[in-house]
């Protein structure tokens, strides 16, 4: 009689321990913090469900996979939010990092970024930039503009040599590109020979007085400028 009673007590104790064991597998600090942010976590496979706003990142090692909850997906992955769970998905084979499956941000070696795609060579009308690994639209040169007014120290008057400048703008063949091309300019020397308001004529020599206009005088028939004598 005692044996069946003991067996019944053991079964009841085991049933009571099931919720406790299940809670141990849920979110906690187990496995050195690998279950941080998890709702459900196991020793064998790590996290399988994450808290809201976190992404589930599945790391594969051979035939084994292990889940981890992260705030941001690691390089080579992008985050996809779902109704039940947010997941980290792998970028394309040629992408180093990406915004989505179809839009790369940075390419792997030997590939060039062009409009979100990683290409082995840049398309026609573009040039490969080795420093950024991007395909940049080639620039088109416009005609030179008119020369600017001749200036010296910001002034367009006086007596000195100044500079005048003209600009040649460049634009991209692909207007949809946000980047701008370089603006070209050139300058040359030019003479300034125009008096400034309130200043004396710069062409007049130093110390030379300005001549005043002479009044007209009546001259006699001799033309010597002396006044004609009165008649007797």
Minimum mean pLDDT range among 22-26, 85-89, 165-169: 22-26
Pinpoint the residues of the chain covered by CATH 2.10.220.10: 35-90
pLDDT value, residue 120: 95
* pLDDT tens per residue across span 7-60: 555 555 554 544 444 444 444 444 334 688 888 888 888 898 999 889 999 988
Question: Which fold is adopted by the domain 35-90?
Answer: 2.10.220
pTM above 0.85, yes or no: no
Contact between 149 and 164 under an 8 Å Cβ cutoff? The reply is yes
Minimum mean pLDDT range among 57-61, 77-81, 139-143, 223-227: 223-227
Q: What is the DSSP letter of 28?
A: S
Q: What angle do CA 71, 28, 24 make, to 5 degrees?
A: 140
Establish how many alpha carbons lie within 13 A of residue 7's alpha carbon, considering only the half-sphere containing its beta carbon: 4
pLDDT value, residue 231: 58
Contacts of 69 (CB under 8 A, 6+ apart): 36, 37, 38, 47, 50, 51, 54, 55, 56, 57
The dihedral sign for the CA sequence 153, 155, 160, 166: positive
Mean pLDDT of 74-87: 91
Q: How many CB atoms lie within 10 A of CB 140?
A: 11
Q: Select the more confidently predicted residue: 149 or 214.
A: 149
pLDDT value, residue 194: 84
Contacts of 12 (CB under 8 A, 6+ apart): none
* pLDDT tens per residue across span 118-139: 999 999 888 898 888 999 887 7
71 is written with which tokens?
A: 């705030």
The owner of tokens 């130093």 is: 206
Q: What is the DSSP letter of 140?
A: E
Which residue, 156, 157, 166, is CA-closest to 195?
A: 157
DSSP-derived 3-state class of residue 49: strand
Distance CA 94, CA 133 (A): 12
Distance CA 77, CA 70 (A): 12
82 is written with which tokens?
A: 């779902």
Q: What is the DSSP letter of 181?
A: P
Q: How many CB atoms lie within 10 A of CB 194?
A: 14
């Amino acid at each position: 009689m005692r044996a069946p009673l003991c067996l019944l007590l053991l079964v009841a104790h085991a049933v009571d321990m099931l919720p406790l064991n299940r809670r141990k597998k849920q979110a906690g600090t187990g496995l050195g913090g690998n279950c941080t942010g998890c709702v459900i976590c196991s020793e064998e496979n790590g996290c399988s469900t994450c808290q809201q706003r976190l992404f589930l990142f599945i790391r594969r090692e051979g035939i084994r996979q292990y889940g981890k909850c992260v705030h941001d997906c690691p390089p080579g992955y992008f985050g996809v939010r779902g109704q039940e769970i947010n997941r980290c998905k792998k970028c394309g084979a040629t992408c180093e990092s990406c915004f989505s499956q179809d839009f790369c941000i940075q390419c792997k070696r030997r590939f060039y970024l062009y409009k979100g795609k990683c290409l082995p060579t840049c398309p026609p009308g573009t040039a490969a930039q080795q420093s950024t690994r991007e395909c940049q639209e080639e620039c088109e040169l416009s005609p030179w503009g008119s020369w600017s007014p001749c200036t010296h120290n910001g002034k367009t008057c006086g007596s000195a040599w100044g500079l005048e400048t003209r600009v040649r703008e460049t634009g991209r063949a692909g207007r949809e590109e946000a980047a701008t091309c370089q603006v070209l300019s050139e300058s040359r020397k030019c003479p300034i020979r125009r008096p400034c308001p309130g200043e004396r004529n710069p062409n007049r020599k130093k110390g030379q007085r300005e001549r005043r206009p002479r009044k007209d005088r009546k001259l006699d028939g001799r033309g010597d400028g002396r006044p004609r004598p009165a008649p007797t």
